[in-house]
């Protein structure tokens, strides 16, 4: 067990720079320049895709076995006690995230500036409603938040806002609380967050010049890799994390590692990173508390280990190809 913990700590240290570029738009002024599809689908990219697909298939088989480890089992029991507070954490965490954003003149992300007084007022009303301990006030706040998200989408485009699609999942969770659909809330949060991470990751492949600028100007360590190859790997790590969330094989151990990774990126980029990723931190903490107890992941539809391996392997290739083609065509 000590070796496993040491390995995870090492992973956190090594992988921190990969997550440091989560939203490259926040940290560079370089004009986006789309890479050709031939250069994106390089031999290195295709080889890495195949290797990761195999590793994910193996991970789907190995990861559930860690639940029987004494330390992990004890950890699960301790964290399960906090499950009744998960929805409160999401509700008040959302209010805190919006407060941090509006105080700094932004909404949903550092790139979306609040220039309209009416918008700022509606954000503060949303915050106030979310702070009221009653489900009707929560629903009202979520409804206004949905309108605000629509407003920002109208000004920035649907495909741009897919980077922040997890906010729609948050809104859905808040809206269906205390209804017969309540149990569907956190699965939506898993799905929305995972898809958002996958979408953001593809940006590094399609517009690598922006990420290269960040690596150069912010002195991001590449551990001996060429910057271009490093960017490809960085995007894969982020994409894989999102994919794990979607298919339901991201357990608490991996969730904790990812949470620490995002926290450590704040050391590289400072307050802008905190503003942008505060809501993600809240969501990941919820995932650590909840585990996957409430979620019937797609992988569970397949009973044998071989079927699960094949499902994860082929599904990863399909999801990767779909996201890459959609982003390349529309974003």
Per-residue model confidence as pLDDT tens for the chain (331 residues): 444 444 444 444 444 444 444 455 555 666 778 899 999 999 999 999 999 999 998 887 887 777 778 887 888 888 888 888 999 999 999 999 999 999 999 999 888 999 899 999 999 999 999 999 999 999 999 999 999 999 999 998 898 898 899 999 999 999 999 899 888 888 888 889 889 989 989 988 998 888 787 777 766 777 778 888 888 988 898 898 888 888 777 666 667 777 777 666 655 555 666 677 789 889 888 888 887 655 566 667 777 888 888 888 999 999 999 999 999 988 7
Query: What is the rounded distance in angstroms from the CA atom of residue 216 to the CA atom of residue 197?
Result: 23
Query: What is the rounded distance in angstroms from the CA atom of residue 231 to the CA atom of residue 205?
Result: 8
Query: What is the rounded distance in angstroms from the CA atom of residue 216 to the CA atom of residue 236?
Result: 20
The structure's pTM equals: 0.84
Q: What is the pLDDT of residue 2?
A: 46
Alpha-carbon dihedral angle through residues 159, 160, 166, 167, given to the nearest 10 degrees: -110
Map residue 66 onto helix, strand or coil. helix
Q: What is the pLDDT of residue 24?
A: 58
Q: What is the pLDDT of residue 143?
A: 97
Smallest CA-to-CA distance from 120 within 166, 143, 152 is with 152
Q: What is the pLDDT of residue 324?
A: 95
Strand residue runs (E) in the chain: 106-107, 109-113
Query: What is the rounded distance in angstroms from the CA atom of residue 274 to the CA atom of residue 66?
Result: 32
Q: Which residues contact 185 (CB under 8 A, 6 or more apart)?
A: 87, 172, 173, 176, 177
For 26, list phi and psi in degrees, rounded to 5: -75, -20
Q: What is the CA radius of gyration of the chain?
A: 20
According to DSSP, the β-strands at 106-107 and 109-113 are: antiparallel
DSSP of 89-115, one letter per residue? HHHHHHHHHHHHHHHTTEESEEEEE--
Q: What is the pLDDT of residue 306?
A: 85
Smallest CA-to-CA distance from 63 within 296, 255, 316 is with 255
Q: What is the pLDDT of residue 65?
A: 76
Strand residue runs (E) in 1-75: none
């Amino acid at each position: 067990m000590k070796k496993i913990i040491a390995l995870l700590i090492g992973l956190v240290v090594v992988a921190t720079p990969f997550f440091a570029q989560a939203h490259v738009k926040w940290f560079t002024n370089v004009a986006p320049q789309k890479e050709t599809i031939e250069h994106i689908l390089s031999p290195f990219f295709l080889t890495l895709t195949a290797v990761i697909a195999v590793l994910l298939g193996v991970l789907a088989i190995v990861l559930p076995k860690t639940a029987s480890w004494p330390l992990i089992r004890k950890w699960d029991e301790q964290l399960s006690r906090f499950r009744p507070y998960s929805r409160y954490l999401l509700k008040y965490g959302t209010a805190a995230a919006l407060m941090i954003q509006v105080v700094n003149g932004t909404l949903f992300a550092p790139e979306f500036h609040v220039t309209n007084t009416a918008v700022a007022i509606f954000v503060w009303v949303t915050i106030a409603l979310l702070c009221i301990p009653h489900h009707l006030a929560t629903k009202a706040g979520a409804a206004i938040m949905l309108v605000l998200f629509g407003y920002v989408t109208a000004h920035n485009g649907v495909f741009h806002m897919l980077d922040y699609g997890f906010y729609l999942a948050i809104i859905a969770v808040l809206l269906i609380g205390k209804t017969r659909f309540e149990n569907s809330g956190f699965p939506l949060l898993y799905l929305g967050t995972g898809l958002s991470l996958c979408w953001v990751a593809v940006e590094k492949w399609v517009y690598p010049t922006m990420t290269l600028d960040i690596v150069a100007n912010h002195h991001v360590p590449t551990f001996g890799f060429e910057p271009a190859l490093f960017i490809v790997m960085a995007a894969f790590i982020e994409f894989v994390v999102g994919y794990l969330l979607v298919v339901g094989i991201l357990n608490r151990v991996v969730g904790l590692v990812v949470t620490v990774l995002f926290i450590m990126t704040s050391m590289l980029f400072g307050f802008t990173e905190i503003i942008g990723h505060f809501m993600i931190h809240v969501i990941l903490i919820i995932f650590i508390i909840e585990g996957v107890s409430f979620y019937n992941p797609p992988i569970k539809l397949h009973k044998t280990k071989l079927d699960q391996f094949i499902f994860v392997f082929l599904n990863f290739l399909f999801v990767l190809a779909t996201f890459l083609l959609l982003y390349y065509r529309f974003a």
